[in-house]
Structure formats: C-alpha cells, structure tokens
Amino acid sequence: MGWLKKAPVKYALAGVGAVYLLLFVAYLVYAGVERMKPRGPSELEAHPERQEEILARQRAEDLRDQLDLSDEQTQQLADIFCAQGRAPHPSGPPDRGDFRGRWQAAQEEIAQVLTPEQQARMEQMRGQFAGRGGGPGRGGPRGGMSPERIDALKEKMTPEQRARFEKRVQEWQQRRQQWGGGRGRGRRQ
C-alpha cells in the first residue's frame, strides 16, 4: 500500500478518473443530441394521400390512451373516424345540417363501441370543453380547446395543414366580429 502514497501514482489515477469522467459527459451530450435529431418525414408528410386514415388512427390512439380502450375498440373507432372524414362534401361550402347529422351518427356508433364506464369518461372529457362557452359537447373557435392542446395539434400538422388551420381561425374570428363578438347577438339559429 506504500505505492499509493507516491505523488506520481496519485496524479496518474486522478488523470485516469478525469478522462473517464470527460468521456462519460461527452457520451451524455452525444446521446442527447442524437435523440433531438429529426428522424425523417412524419407519416403524414410521407403519405399525404392517406391523410384521413392516418389522422383517424391517431385520434383513435389518443382516445385509447385516455379511455383505456382495447386494440379492437381502437381499430373500430379509427374506422368510424375514417368513414366520417370520407363522407362526400357537396361543391361549395359544406351543409351544416349534413355535418351535424354525420357527427351525431358517428357519436352513436362510438357509443356502441364503448363500455358504460368509457362513455362516462368521454362525457366527462367533453364536459371540460363545454364549460368554455362552446355549449355542451361543442368545441370549435368559441372555445373548446386550450391553447396548449391547439399547439400540440399544430405540431402534428404539415405546413400546408397549419396554413389552412390558421386561415380557418381567421375566418372564425371574422365571423365572431360580424355576429357581435360571439355573444349571441345577430346569430342565426
């Protein structure tokens, strides 16, 4: 043990320890940088022709995480969402009644897939949005979503989708101004 008391040996061991410490820190920095690198195009960018299918699956997977759905339920919801997105749109602006009817039909189909407990949780989630001025179960520009949720959705959008979304938001804001600030004055029933 006398050899450990010699100064050159102590300095050599300290140097080896410092080198290992520097290598470990360098590895951590490298691993962090590699993890932050983009991994290529998103699935939507790679397959824009399958946009409805991809978005329907993502929406169903979000609900799977929130409602503890089985794989079979998740697939059934993805099919419902995909069918709802593929409904024919007439030329010109979409008919509000047609959209509302399709939405209600989709909600009935979803209710058949979910268990009573899952339906209760889904109603509770809808209730969180309803308290912001959008009416029961209504989202949209008058308040259904928090700014954090909107930002999270924007991150998943392609640049073209983001541009269309921003355009729609501007249109909604113009309508609110035309309708009296969205407080119900001058609105059609």
Would you state the pLDDT for residue 144? 56
Tokens of 27: 């590895």
Any domain includes 112: yes
Residues 6+ apart with CB under 8 A from 173: 141
Residues 6+ apart with CB under 8 A from 2: none
Q: Is 56 helix (H, G, I), strand (E, B) or coil?
A: helix
Question: pLDDT digit string (tens) for 81-139?
Answer: 888 776 554 444 555 556 777 778 888 888 898 888 888 888 888 776 555 444 444 44
Any domain includes 118: yes
Would you state the pLDDT for residue 126? 76
Mark whether 82 and 152 lie in a shared domain. Answer: no
Any domain includes 32: no
Any domain includes 91: no
Mark whether 122 and 167 lie in a shared domain. Answer: no
Any domain includes 140: no
Compute the CA torsion angle 109, 44, 86, 71 (nearest 10 deg): -20
Mark whether 82 and 157 lie in a shared domain. Answer: no
Question: pLDDT digit string (tens) for 148-181?
Answer: 878 888 888 888 888 888 888 888 888 777 765 5
Angle (CA) 146 152 157, round 5°: 125
**Across residues 16-33, what is the average pLDDT?**
92
**Across residues 2-22, what is the average pLDDT?**
84
Mark whether 122 and 79 lie in a shared domain. Answer: yes
Any domain includes 82: yes
Tally of structural domains, the chain:
2
Mark whether 111 and 174 lie in a shared domain. Answer: no
Any domain includes 21: no
- H helix runs in the chain, sequence order: 7-36, 43-46, 51-67, 71-85, 96-113, 116-129, 147-156, 159-178
Report CA 148 to chain centroid distance, whole Å: 10
Any domain includes 163: yes
* More confident: 8 or 146: 8
Residues 6+ apart with CB under 8 A from 126: 136, 137
Length of the chain: 189
Mark whether 157 and 79 lie in a shared domain. Answer: no
The single-letter DSSP state of residue 4 is G
Task: Provide the domain limits for residue 171.
Answer: 145-182
Mark whether 46 and 116 lie in a shared domain. Answer: yes
Residues 6+ apart with CB under 8 A from 83: 106
Mark whether 75 and 151 lie in a shared domain. Answer: no
**Across residues 16-35, what is the average pLDDT?**
91
Mark whether 152 and 130 lie in a shared domain. Answer: no
Mark whether 77 and 105 lie in a shared domain. Answer: yes
Mark whether 121 and 70 lie in a shared domain. Answer: yes
Would you state the pLDDT for residue 130? 53
Give the pLDDT band (50/70/90) at residue 145: low
Q: What are phi and psi of 6, to 5 degrees?
A: -75, 135
Would you state the pLDDT for residue 129? 57
Give the pLDDT band (50/70/90) at residue 1: low
Would you state the pLDDT for residue 88? 52
Question: pLDDT digit string (tens) for 42-88?
Answer: 776 777 888 888 888 888 888 888 888 899 999 999 998 888 776 55
Mark whether 52 and 120 lie in a shared domain. Answer: yes
